Structure 1
Amino acid sequence: MLLTFLSILLQINPVITPGNWLTPFEKSYGKKTATYKECIAYYQHLDNAFDTFKLEEYGSTDSGKPLHIAILSLDKDFNPVSLRRKNKRILLIQNGIHPGEPEGIDASMMLARDYLLKKELQAYLKDVVVLFIPIYNVDGSLNRNSYSRANQDGPESYGFRGNARNLDLNRDYIKTDSRNAQTFTVLFQEWQPDIFVDTHTSNGADYQHTMTLIATQKDKLQGPLREYLTSQLLPQLYVGMQKLKFPMCPYVDSKGESPDSGLVGFLETPRYSTGYTTLFHTIGFVTETHMLKPFADRVKAQYNFLDVLIRTVQKDAAKIAAARQQAIKEMLAQKQFTINWQLDTTTVDTITFLGYEAKHKPSEVSGLSRLYYDRQAPYTKKINYYNTYRASLTVTRPTAYVVPQAWEEVIDRLRLNWVKMRTLRRDTSLTAEVYYLTDYKTGNRSYEGHYLHSGVQVRSEKQRLNYFAGDYIIPVNQPAARFLIETLEPQATDSYFNWGFFDGILQQKEYFSSYVFEDVAAKLLQQYPNLKKQLQEFITKNPEAAKNAQAQLDFVYRHSPYYEKSHLRYPITRIVP
């Protein structure tokens, strides 16, 4: 096999020396994945040999090492603005976000080489530019081991899921804590890809499929992109992989204990790669090769998927451009935006699934019953697929948001995402819609460096507030509208509030000494009869408060002019018509 491969290369390019273009994966006969150093050296080798290929350092990572991007452009143009002007479709392939799941790293190295060497493949690059992030989690790739993926069949060694700060980078797209994510954001906004792929390896159940796929959740796409994805792009990818003897199925997230209970479509919120890219009308895919299949087969499946995708993007280049342009146009005219979703279990499709019977037997460890999949009992059957999500919470978009300059961490993230903003030139007052937090829950354990909030409830009122020169006015009628709404509306799943960027407002800064406020409260009740009535209603509804003097004083305080208006007041306000 190795000699045949070399002979083919020598026929294509006689100056190639034996082994010159073999990747570490190929040299090891499919047992090893490239190290970070080997991977970047290989791409540099391609850069040196071909003027249609360029490797660039794009920024830093938390390890201090650079994040690279490799650009395959048939007309030797490597400028994103120029390429968009030429109406090129841009496909971004990201590898190694979890370096213990490395198939995409090796598949992309071979894919780039083959498209550079084989003239017959270059017809599929006529209208397509392919970008490769060789290894996104450079930090984790450098932390090489052979044990952290306990459920996986090979390779011999690989990187670690956490980055240099022990962050899972596929939870960091919106919060952007890592330098890796900050660099990715710059790269993404500059290139504005039409299609994005994030390569992974699965965990979970055992089944016959080598490749499973997460596509951008269809209900989160604008109509034109949703229609193109579901009726044209996905069917072509599934048929293409079937022809190559790698039948796919959706990512296996079982409704019950095993896949035959039905699969549930993955709802990728903006913390995830494809949830983030969706906010900017980029169709996203997460490829998930099956952990228990031989590493060589997983790399081959990954290679085939990327190859089929490139060919399909070339074939549908005009359709993709038209759908994306129409989607952006519709979004700019949109008034209502969904910020929370719920699975609709009453709507169900069926898919063909190639599985193994799920059975139980006594555990050799505990002696108790354990699940296993019987590979001697394969099956092909139709199973339910739940992949429809309905809006559970919507908001009416404001004309603009007002962001005080004090919230610098948030402003920096808006800038990274090319949000159009202007600053106030002088101190002024504005009438705006203000949110007060009436309820929220906070996780009792740290999650990716934050104590995540959820279940946020708000009430709104209009207030006239003072702002300072340098505070930001952010119009919503701009390409980043969905990004703004899903980060600045506090009830959105991955809002900046839920990630803890505004926790300062949750703490009350002033209070009272009970023995002093007793006299003040008595005067307030005499002065404001309505307040006294409200206190009596409070006691009636809460009988325990009748015996709790502190609770009654607290009620009077919170309904008096002494209570700070900024407590639990969300600092970003909305300008509404």
Structure 2
Amino acid sequence: MKKLPLLLALLGPLNVLAQETPFERSHKTATTTYAEAISFYENLAKAYPQQAKLFTYGSTDFGKPLHLLVLSKSKVFDPVALRKSDKRIFLINNGIHPGEPEGIDASMMLARDLLKNNKLPENVVIAIIPLYNIDGSHNRTGTSRANQNGPVAYGFRGNSKNYDLNRDFIKTDSKNSQAFQQIFNIWQPEIFVDTHTSNGADYQYTMTLIPTQKDKLNGIVSSYLTQTMVPDLYKQMKGKGYELIPYVNSINETPDAGITGYIESPRYSTGYAALHNTIGFMPETHMLKPFDKRVESTYKLLQTYIDIIVRDAKLIGENKRKADEFVAQQKEFPLDWKLNRSVYDSIEFKGYAAKYKPSEISGMDRLYYDRNEPYTKMIKYWDKFEPSLSVTKPVAYIIPKAWDKVIALLKLNNVQMKQLAADTKMKVEMYYIADMKTGTRPYEGHYQHSAVKLNTVTQDIQFYAGDYVVYVNQPTNRYIVETLEPQATDSFFNWNFFDSVLGQKEGYSSYVFEDTGAELLKKNPELKQKLEAEKAKNPDLAKSASAQLDFVYKNSDYYEKTHMRYPIGRLQQDIKLNLN
């Protein structure tokens, strides 16, 4: 009888490693629930405590922590020590949209098989977020993705607050985003993959691919991405039976006329990763292909990533180091991009004939793809993006301590900051918001700004002890600039962090200020000339007594200097400051 506990102990790990995933047990028709996924990874970590460890980080809006399984052949699980020993970090994120669950199931099988077959690489640490949108995964149906072919049930795109978490990496309205950024900036991956399922046209491919847009990625890592990594992914996946094609972003209703590249701004996971010089990928399996084939193609793609990273580990690490050094010294930063439609490649595309027939609902013509007429032909592919807006970085940004969410997010992203030790008046550039567009409907909980126009004024501004000084001489420069420059696409300003400065706090009674204004014009001929000049070029002003009075007010010392003034200063000279 004494031998039984020992026998059970020996069999325990074997049972764990042999266990099938819920996907496999369902004959490849079901995807794993959150509870099943965490239980599976807990068992793996128990079975292989020296090579697998399951961490938890922060919380999510659902009240659960975000889990991270780390697989390390060297038995080291300290990210600082791993970087010192020149290991590469490969981060896989699954279930940001839980209705697109292939990565959830593929990653479980991959982790198990790597451990079971003793296939963990020596020079690459694999980190897996089992299921990012825990909230949405509990909202489980088989109907929310109306166009998708399986699985039998799956989660919902929105989280508990109905946020699309793949739009939340800058504004960080969710606790999920905070926990993810904690993971990302602690582990600092060189390669990042966020698994998805596509929508859109029908075609022959099971897997499409969105790499970080090559023109916006740092040139050093972009060269490796475009010349080595992406071609090798295409070649190896074709050999494994799953040809790749760029994400089918059609310029017209169908792909026949050509497709364009995808410019992912920092609100998206891979756009966020690019701010940190990390190569990102968003594989998108095709929604209409059988679920088991979508999972299989994801499994094989993840394995292919590992093989390439293992082979090129030294080069990938060196490229990341050089890119960080370059960005720390970089002076000009693009803030927005436009597609150059005069430059394109021709690529082979395997599609289905697009046809039209009368709709059984409306009687009018409707599109359908005829799978009985597959074709292979060359189509145009536009993928050259050019900067449409750039900025020269300052020496430093000065951030009043009152803007605590901004400060917290900068710290979360490893931005080095110092604080003023004493009240200090300094000459800085200040932006005034001259014009902008604001959405008429909310987008992800915000009435987002865009097309921001700025007036730049050099002013002596009083800052105070405890205000933050952010020098723009860091590897995190892109994150700093693209969040703090209000005209950037996904700036904190455009996500409404600073809307309070857009409201005027003081005013005047016209009947009183009429006398004050008249006195100002008598004592200040320059103001009088300015008013007359403005009236000459603006007929509406010339016809309006109230508008003329308001012009005098807004050009006087009575008008508050903080109205429409972006509160973060741009220090242009490297002066000595008293800093903590």
TM-score by length of 1: 0.96
- Tell me the residue number matched to 1:405: 401
Structure 2 matches for 1:26-175, cutoff 5 A?
A: 26-50=24-48, 51-119=50-118, 121-122=119-120, 125-175=121-171
Question: For 2:491 and 2:423, how far apart are their aligned partners in 1?
Answer: 28
Question: For 1:229 and 1:48, how far apart are their aligned partners in 2?
Answer: 36
Question: For 1:46 and 1:470, how far apart are their aligned partners in 2?
Answer: 47
- Residues 368-401 of structure 1: CA deviation (Å, up to 9, x unaligned): 1211111111111111111111111111111100
Question: For 1:273 and 1:229, how far apart are their aligned partners in 2?
Answer: 17
- Residues 299-342 of structure 1: CA deviation (Å, up to 9, x unaligned): 00100100111001000111101111111121122111111111
| Equivalent position amino acid for 1:39 in 2 | A
- Tell me the residue number matched to 1:506: 502
- Tell me the residue number matched to 1:395: 391
Pick from 338, 341, 358 the counterpart of residue 354 of structure 2. Answer: 358
Matched residue SS, 1:571: coil
Pick from 22, 29, 32 the counterpart of residue 24 of structure 1. Answer: 22
Structure 2 matches for 1:480-519, cutoff 5 A?
A: 480-519=476-515
Question: For 1:573 and 1:546, how far apart are their aligned partners in 2?
Answer: 36
Question: For 1:72 and 1:91, how far apart are their aligned partners in 2?
Answer: 10
- Residues 500-544 of structure 1: CA deviation (Å, up to 9, x unaligned): 000010001111111111111211121112212221222221212
Shift of 1:419: 1.1
Conservation of the 8 A alpha-carbon contact between 2:23 and 2:30: yes
Pick from 416, 437, 440 the counterpart of residue 441 of structure 1. Answer: 437
Question: For 1:14 and 1:410, how far apart are their aligned partners in 2?
Answer: 48
| Equivalent position amino acid for 1:392 in 2 | S
Runs (4+) of structure 1 exceeding 4 A deviation are: 17-20
Question: For 2:194 and 2:343, how far apart are their aligned partners in 1?
Answer: 28
Matched, 1:568 2:567: no
Shift of 1:18: 10
Distance 1:521 1:15, change over 3 A: closer
Question: For 1:316 and 1:220, how far apart are their aligned partners in 2?
Answer: 22
Matched residue SS, 1:220: coil
Question: For 1:182 and 1:421, how far apart are their aligned partners in 2?
Answer: 19
- Tell me the residue number matched to 1:8: none
| Equivalent position amino acid for 1:226 in 2 | S
Q: Mind listing any 5+ residue stretches in structure 2 that lack a counterpart?
A: 1-10, 574-580
Which segment is superposed worse, 534-543 or 422-431?
A: 534-543
Matched residue SS, 1:170: helix
- Tell me the residue number matched to 2:280: 284
Matched residue SS, 2:374: strand
Shift of 1:291: 0.3
Matched residue SS, 2:195: strand
Distance 1:431 1:354, change over 3 A: same
Which segment is superposed worse, 358-367 or 27-36?
A: 358-367
The alignment of Structure 1 onto Structure 2 pairs a total of residues equal to 562
Shift of 1:217: 0.6
Distance 1:38 1:265, change over 3 A: same
Matched residue SS, 1:60: coil
- Tell me the residue number matched to 2:199: 203
Q: Mind listing any 5+ residue stretches in structure 1 that lack a counterpart?
A: 1-12
Pick from 455, 458, 463 the counterpart of residue 459 of structure 1. Answer: 455
Pick from 473, 478, 487 the counterpart of residue 477 of structure 1. Answer: 473
Shift of 1:14: 11
Question: For 1:513 and 1:339, how far apart are their aligned partners in 2?
Answer: 42
Question: For 1:251 and 1:523, how far apart are their aligned partners in 2?
Answer: 66
Conservation of the 8 A alpha-carbon contact between 2:17 and 2:44: no
Question: For 2:44 and 2:531, how far apart are their aligned partners in 1?
Answer: 76
- Residues 137-183 of structure 1: CA deviation (Å, up to 9, x unaligned): 01111111111110100000001111111111100111111111001
Matched residue SS, 2:301: helix
Matched residue SS, 1:420: coil
Question: For 2:13 and 2:467, how far apart are their aligned partners in 1?
Answer: 61
| Equivalent position amino acid for 2:388 in 1 | S
Structure 2 matches for 1:293-312, cutoff 5 A?
A: 293-312=289-308
Shift of 1:441: 0.7
Conservation of the 8 A alpha-carbon contact between 1:207 and 1:354: yes
Question: For 1:15 and 1:472, how far apart are their aligned partners in 2?
Answer: 52
Matched, 1:335 2:341: no
Conservation of the 8 A alpha-carbon contact between 2:441 and 2:447: yes
Shift of 1:547: 2.1
Matched, 1:261 2:257: yes
Matched residue SS, 2:58: strand
- Tell me the residue number matched to 1:385: 381
Question: For 1:212 and 1:89, how far apart are their aligned partners in 2?
Answer: 25
Pick from 412, 421, 427 the counterpart of residue 431 of structure 1. Answer: 427
Question: For 2:418 and 2:543, how far apart are their aligned partners in 1?
Answer: 53
Question: For 2:97 and 2:218, how far apart are their aligned partners in 1?
Answer: 29
| Equivalent position amino acid for 2:80 in 1 | V
Conservation of the 8 A alpha-carbon contact between 1:59 and 1:68: no
Conservation of the 8 A alpha-carbon contact between 2:140 and 2:153: yes
Matched residue SS, 1:205: coil
Structure 2 matches for 1:363-378, cutoff 5 A?
A: 363-378=359-374
Which segment is superposed worse, 334-343 or 51-60?
A: 51-60
Shift of 1:282: 0.5
Question: For 2:503 and 2:56, how far apart are their aligned partners in 1?
Answer: 43
- Tell me the residue number matched to 1:3: none
Question: For 1:19 and 1:150, how far apart are their aligned partners in 2?
Answer: 36
Provide the aligned C-alpha RMSD in A. Answer: 1.3
- Tell me the residue number matched to 1:5: none
- Tell me the residue number matched to 1:324: 320
Conservation of the 8 A alpha-carbon contact between 2:521 and 2:527: yes
Distance 1:310 1:247, change over 3 A: same
Pick from 532, 539, 544 the counterpart of residue 540 of structure 2. Answer: 544
Question: For 2:341 and 2:301, how far apart are their aligned partners in 1?
Answer: 30
Question: For 2:561 and 2:467, how far apart are their aligned partners in 1?
Answer: 20
| Equivalent position amino acid for 2:46 in 1 | N
Question: For 2:134 and 2:330, how far apart are their aligned partners in 1?
Answer: 39
Question: For 2:52 and 2:149, how far apart are their aligned partners in 1?
Answer: 33
Question: For 2:467 and 2:283, how far apart are their aligned partners in 1?
Answer: 42
Question: For 1:89 and 1:185, how far apart are their aligned partners in 2?
Answer: 18
